[in-house]
Structure 1
Amino acid sequence: MRHLRETDGSPVHRRHINFHATMCKGVSPLHDTLHIEATAGAAKLRSSQRAREDAEDMATAAYAGLMRTEVMVENAIREVDAAARKLDRKDPALAARRTIFPKGMSRVIKPDGQAQLDVLPALRIRMAPFVDKGDMDDALASLDHAEMLHRAALETVHLANAEVDLRFAEEREARRLVREQLASAHGRLRDHYKATPAAAEAFFLREKSPARSKPKAPTNPTPQPSVPATPLTPA
């Protein structure tokens, strides 16, 4: 019997436990007991694997939502920039854009995730002298709305990633139980076949290693006719 490792994936574990369960069915009362135990272990592993895959799908969707809200924040910041430019055109002495974006707008837009939210408090402070002028109040309202959605999206991503971690831990535990079941069954079957313990191996999947599965080269290969070189066509 091949002893599975913790690093073997769920498909490998499922292949071995399903083979074992099928081979044991209807052979003897002991084999039927092993069949029932293996079937339960296989079902638990399959359900935990599906739960982890579903959690990963949800995490991907949550990340996509985060990217969308991050774009909304960036667009709201661009609205602030546009409102500041408009104010400066009307009254250059205000220097609204230079005050709100002293190091340029890209420094405010470039951060990602939580870092994008971290730059907003200082931005709001710099916007304060202009909130009642021109279109700045509308730009601030857009920024407030985008920030709220982005903050909620970040929380959704954190929760989704935590769910993936939880489901993966459950899947790994299900794998451990499969390995434990196979080892237990192997020992009981060897005891069952006391006279010929090797008979127990027939109830466990034997996978050939890649090296052994490669076709062997023929001992006496048939000589192949040589192919004359193609003559060069004169230029």
Structure 2
Amino acid sequence: MAWSLRFQGVGNASAVELGSPMSTIERDGAPWLTIDCGAEGLTAFQATYGHLPRAIFVTHVHLDHVAGFERLFVDSYFSERRGQTRLYVPATVVPLLHRRVGDYPNVLAEGGANFWDAFQLIPVGDAFWHDDVRLEVFAARHHWPETAYGLRLKGALAWTGDTRPIPEVLARYADADELIAHDCGLHGNPSHTGVDDLEREYPAALRQRMMLYHYASHADAESLRARGHRVARPGETVALAEPSAERRQPA
């Protein structure tokens, strides 16, 4: 069984030409679990797979990560999949997501529908099961505590989400040779990692496993590469190792 990660988009909120930061874990070339739901990323997803995501993990609710939800609602609600699109959302993020995308009068003009009717909403804690595989959730440092999270598929992938450096967290959640997809721009700020932060806070052995995304421009990407970093491109697919995550055995 082959596992891979496809980057639907790699840019920050202003870099529309790079796509919203969103990716999909693939199994044997098919979408398995998507991370976030940005508008440009959703378009890229549909162009690649011919349909919209069936299962999504939400890292946080800034609009470059959740602006695709209105379109996903329409696609899910008016189809035989109504109520079947799985949304794995950290429990502390659920009320924020509801206020951001689900809480407005009459999601349909004619009434009679709730936003969450379209989805199977699954609040998650430190870990959750998807398709009989256990994934882990960890806190990121982005704006305010308990509002942003990363995702680990043990042995294969650690996705940081938007974050400042979190070396103490990755020491635990990326300790099995995972590919680390890390937020990094040319310049840092109080919410995001800059390349100087990355090089200062992480040991070289950890940086060698990193693939950077959430940068501001193609020129910034080239500058990051010139410093020796691996930088994701929109639409790029990278191979993942076979996960060592716990799997549920058939009854």
Q: Which has the larger radius of gyration?
A: 1
Task: Give the TM-score taking structure 1 as reference length.
Answer: 0.20
Task: Give the TM-score taking structure 2 as reference length.
Answer: 0.19
Structure with a larger share of its residues in strand: 2
Q: Which has the higher contact order (CA 8 A, sep 6+)?
A: 1
